[in-house]
Amino acid sequence: MNSKWKIVAWLIVLWSSVPSVCADYSQRAEIQAMADRLASKGLDRAEVLKVMAQTTRLDSVINAMNRPAEKKKWKNYRPIFLKKARVRAAADFYEAHRSTFIRAERELGVPVEVILAIIGVETYYGKNKGSFRAIDALATLGLDYPKRAKFFLGELESLFVLGREEGLDPIALKGSYAGAMGFGQFIPSSYLAYGIDFDSDGRRDLINNPVDAIGSVANYLARHGWNMNYGIVAPVTGAESFVRSMETGVKVTNNIQTLRVAGIKGIPDIWSDLKLDILGLHGSSGPEYWAVTKNFYVITRYNRSSLYAMAVTQLASQIAKDLRL
């Protein structure tokens, strides 16, 4: 290699080892506009920009967004969450907060095992709440991830509002690569809209206070229409021609007569007056078909994936058996 090419090679090495800091986000037009909006809500514009100048673009966040686990088939997704250890850990978390769980079920009308399963899938009962600075994750996705930029810019703005409402420092908050925080992994807009102060200490702390987190997960499901009077899923047969593609989202718009006329068998009689949908999944021993109620749909409002909702449903069922709920 002649010396000129050696220099070029060294430059490439140097370039690739530069951390992905780069443009000061506070200078971006979107952030200037966001600071204007926050100022109109009573926040200090200069302070917002000062915080934004300290944020960092994270390539790891963009890479993580580009490989979501929900693209898997059910037979490959299920084993990630349906493990004995996760069921056993639910028992420990339940024992530590038993009175809170019982109160959440009674006051908010969401079963203990469903709240447990969600917190179990989201963060392993608070053990993995995420190590990204939420503000870096949201800024990266809001400014350098064009296909979801509008959504994440909104969440970034909500993070500042949340900081002011709850007395939290936006730069100190940790979360997932998508900016979801705390035991239940609430994004800022959900924290603002559905977070509750379940221990009545005057603060909504979904990050470090399990009582507020448990109440808030239950409140989220309750506010999206959870109904204790019926279940979540039931296995059915004869659905091959009704289900056009597998592992899809659900809408719960069909009445039971439509489904029975289509040849589907196994729908519980107590669901006669409900709107339902049929979900097809690639299971470990072949295709599976499930009738699902609005409760299943409600879980997909927490995370828009039928695989996620089925993992929560089956984990909840195993937890209920294990705890004899």
**Residues 256 and 267 sit within 8 Å (Cβ to Cβ):** yes
Count interface residues toward Ca ion (CB under 5 A).
5
Residue closer to Ca ion (CB basis): 107 or 240: 107
Smallest distance from the beta carbon of 196 to Ca ion, in angstroms? Answer: 8
Q: Is the dihedral of CA 112, 113, 119, 123 positive or negative?
A: positive
The contact mask relative to Ca ion for 75-114 (x = CB under 5 A, - = no) is: ----------------------------------------
Q: Which stretch binds Ca ion (CB under 5 A): 52-60, 117-125, 138-146, 212-220?
A: 212-220
Find how far residue 83's CA is from the centre of its chain: 20
Residue closer to Ca ion (CB basis): 3 or 200: 200
Q: Strand, coil or helix: what is 243?
A: coil
Residue closer to Ca ion (CB basis): 156 or 213: 213
Q: With residue 189 as reference, give the H or E element that holds it.
A: helix 188-194
Smallest distance from the beta carbon of 202 to Ca ion, in angstroms? Answer: 7
Q: Which stretch binds Ca ion (CB under 5 A): 181-189, 192-200, 218-226, 288-296?
A: 192-200
Q: With binding defined as CB under 5 A, does residue 166 bind Ca ion?
A: no
Which residues lie closer than 8 Å to 223 by C-beta, 6 or more apart?
A: 194
Given 23, 201, 255, 263, the residue binding Ca ion (CB under 5 A): 201
Q: With binding defined as CB under 5 A, does residue 157 bind Ca ion?
A: no
The contact mask relative to Ca ion for 51-70 (x = CB under 5 A, - = no) is: --------------------
Q: Tell me which residue of 313, 248, 249 sits closest to 78, measured CA to CA.
A: 313
Given 189, 199, 238, 325, the residue binding Ca ion (CB under 5 A): 199
Q: Which of 95, 105, 113, 122 is catalytic?
A: 122
Strands 233-235 and 286-292: antiparallel
Q: In what order do the strands lie in the sheet with 286-292?
A: 233-235, 286-292, 275-283, 254-255
Active site residue 30: no
Given 30, 47, 197, 322, the residue binding Ca ion (CB under 5 A): 197
Q: With binding defined as CB under 5 A, does residue 165 bind Ca ion?
A: no
Q: With binding defined as CB under 5 A, does residue 30 bind Ca ion?
A: no
CA separation, residue 169 to residues 135, 165, 205, 215, 273 (Å): 10, 11, 13, 23, 48
**Using CA atoms, how far apart are residues 223 and 221, in angstroms rounded to an integer?**
5
**Using CA atoms, how far apart are residues 156 and 142, in angstroms rounded to an integer?**
7
Q: Strand, coil or helix: what is 286?
A: strand
Q: Which residue is nearest to Ca ion (CB)?
A: 197
Residue closer to Ca ion (CB basis): 95 or 201: 201
Give residue 183's identity as a one-letter amino acid code. F
Token digits for 323? 């705890």
- Kindly list the residues in this chain that would bind Ca ion in the complex (CB under 5 A): 197, 199, 201, 203, 212
Q: Which residues are catalytic?
A: 122
